[in-house]
Amino acid sequence: MFLRGTILAIAAAVGLTALDAMPVAAKEETRSVFVMSRTWAVTQVSEEPVIYRATRDNNNLNPFGPPPRLRTIQAIAAIQQATGCKVIVPSMYQNISGQFFSQVSCG
């Protein structure tokens, strides 16, 4: 009887943990923009301050793609195209995965 109660308690705890780990849908949609022959996905990641993330499509690592361009310039243009706001360049940073994050000024 004690073993059955323990197993039920563990099953209930695992069930509650699984409910907590459900994936959450993004509040903001991702906008795709085309900058300098490259496709960028721009998503809002924070509301206060307003921060956007820009991720460049790697074109399936195709070596015969368009000529190389500076990614920072492309990221600035992509965020501006997707949002219609001006990028605050001193707030911009890039993570190790090549994604750019920046605050924007819409006024």
pLDDT in tens, 61-102: 777 877 788 999 999 999 999 999 999 999 999 999 999 999
Q: Is the pLDDT of residue 60 over 80?
A: no
Q: Is the pLDDT of residue 20 over 90?
A: no
Q: What pLDDT score was predicted for residue 16?
A: 43
Prediction pTM value: 0.71
Q: What pLDDT score was predicted for residue 93?
A: 96
- 81: nearest Cα among 104, 50, 107: 104
- Name every residue whose Cβ is closer than 8 Å to that of residue 84 and which is 6 or more positions away in sequence: 106
Report d(CA 28, CA 42) in Å as an integer: 10
The tokens describing 52, both together, are: 């956007």
Using only C-alpha atoms, the chain has a radius of gyration, in whole angstroms, of: 21
Report d(CA 101, CA 18) in Å as an integer: 31
Q: Which amino acid does the sequence have at 68?
A: P
- Tell me the per-residue pLDDT of 45-59, one tens digit each, with 9 for 90 and over: 988 889 999 999 988
